[in-house]
Structure 1
C-alpha cells in the first residue's frame, strides 16, 4: 500500500482542524486553502473533503474548537474568567475575532454563538439579574467582550510585542499630546494613560464598569 494512502486513512477531522488552525495563525484567512492544507497534511484533497465539505465548514470547526477550549465547563473566575478566556484566545489567534463576528451576525443559531452566550448568561443569572433583564445584560457583555478583544488583537498586530508595542504606544501618546487643546482637551488629558495602560487590565476594567451598571440598574 502506498504511503500516501496510509496517511489518508489515518486522517481525522481533528487533525484537519488542528492543521487549519496552524495555517490560520501563520497566514490568516487568505492563506487557508485546501491546496495548502493538503500539502501540510501530506494527503490528497479527496481525503479532506471526506471529513470537511468546504472552507466555510472548516473555519466554523476551527472557531468552535478554540472557543470550546477557551470555555471549559470548570472554568473558574465567574464572568471575569469567561471574558479572559475569550480575550486570551483571540489574542493568541487574531483571525478568531473576525470569525466570531461573522458567525454571530450570519449564523447566530450555530453552535459557537450559543456556546459563548450560554457561558456569559450563566454568570449573569448567578448575579441574580431579573429574568426580564438577563438578555440585555448578557448581550451587552457579549458585544463588549468580542469587540474589545477583537480590537485589542488588531492593535497588537500593528504594534507588535515587547519593545515595539511600547514604542508604538509612546508615539501615539506623543501625537495626542500635540493635538489642538481647544479641539481635543480630553484626548490630550489622557495621552499619558495611553502610553502606560495594560491591555488585560483595561479590558477587565471595562467588564467591571458593565457589571456596575447592571447592579445599579437593578437597584
Structure 2
C-alpha cells in the first residue's frame, strides 16, 4: 500500500487491533506495516515512533467510554456509569494497563474523561481539590481492578511465545498455590465455596462491590461536611 493511501487514523486503528492480539511487546512497525499491506517506511511517514503510536492508540480507545449526561443524571449514577465504562474499556484492552506504567499517555480522548470525572465529583459537592482526589481514587481503583486480567493475558502470551504449554503450567501453578492456601484457615474455607473455582480468582462482582463502597464513602464524607457546616 503506497504511503499516500495511508492515514494516521487507519494506522492507529490497526495498531489497536495488533495491541489487543499481541500486547505491547508484539507491537512493532514491521508487523503493523504487514497488517496494513504497506512498507514500514510508509508508516513512519505518518507516525514517527512506537511511543507516539502507543500514545495515539491509547487515546483513541478512551472514546469507547460513554460519557454520562450530567444535566439529566445524578452524580452517583453518573460516577457508577463512568467508572464501569472505564473498567470495561481497560478489560477489553489489557495492554493499556501496562502502558500506564511504561509510557507517557495523554491526548484529547483521555483529557475529555479526566475533565468529566472532575465535573462528576464537583457536581456531587466536592471542592475542586477534593474532586481531583475523588477522580484519581476511582481511576486508580479501575486500573487496579483491571490489572489481574491484564496480567493473566500477558502471562499466557509470554508462555505461548516461549513454546511452552501455557495451560499446563498455569494448572500446575494453581495446584501448588491451592496446596499452600489450604494451610491457612480462612483461605482453606474459601476454597470450599462454590464461588472459588480456583485459588486467586476474584469473587464475582468484585469491581461493582468496591466501586459502590468507594461511592458510599464519598457520600458519607459529603454528608458529614454538610452537617458540620450547619452546626
TM-score w.r.t. structure 1 length?
0.75
Question: Given the superposition, is the C-alpha separation of residues 113 and 200 from structure 1 closer, same or farther in structure 2, using an over 3 Å criterion?
Answer: farther
Q: Superposed, which structure 2 residues align to 1:1-219 within 5 Å?
A: 4-5=1-2, 8-72=3-67, 77-103=77-103, 106=104, 110-111=107-108, 113-155=110-152, 174-175=178-179, 178-181=182-185, 186-191=186-191, 192=193, 195=196, 201-218=205-222, 219=224
Q: Which runs of 5+ in 1 are unaligned?
A: none
Please tell me the root mean square deviation across aligned C-alpha atoms, in Å. Answer: 3.3
CA shift for structure 1 position 157: 6.0
Question: Given the superposition, is the C-alpha separation of residues 173 and 30 from structure 1 closer, same or farther in structure 2, using an over 3 Å criterion?
Answer: closer
Question: 1:167-205 CA distances to partner (integer Å, 9 max, x unpaired)?
Answer: 97x969954761233xxxx43444437616876721011
Query: 1-side partners of 2:206 and 2:130: how far apart?
Result: 26
Report if aligned partners of 2:195, 2:203 keep a CA contact under 8 Å in 1.
no
Q: Which runs of 5+ in 2 are unaligned?
A: 158-166, 225-231
Q: How many residues align?
A: 201
Report if aligned partners of 2:20, 2:94 keep a CA contact under 8 Å in 1.
yes
Question: Given the superposition, is the C-alpha separation of residues 132 and 72 from structure 1 closer, same or farther in structure 2, using an over 3 Å criterion?
Answer: closer
Report if aligned partners of 1:67, 1:89 keep a CA contact under 8 Å in 2.
yes
Question: Given the superposition, is the C-alpha separation of residues 118 and 171 from structure 1 closer, same or farther in structure 2, using an over 3 Å criterion?
Answer: farther
Higher percent of residues as helix: 1
CA shift for structure 1 position 17: 0.6
Query: 1-side partners of 2:10 and 2:204: how far apart?
Result: 32
Question: Given the superposition, is the C-alpha separation of residues 95 and 111 from structure 1 closer, same or farther in structure 2, using an over 3 Å criterion?
Answer: same
CA shift for structure 1 position 81: 1.5
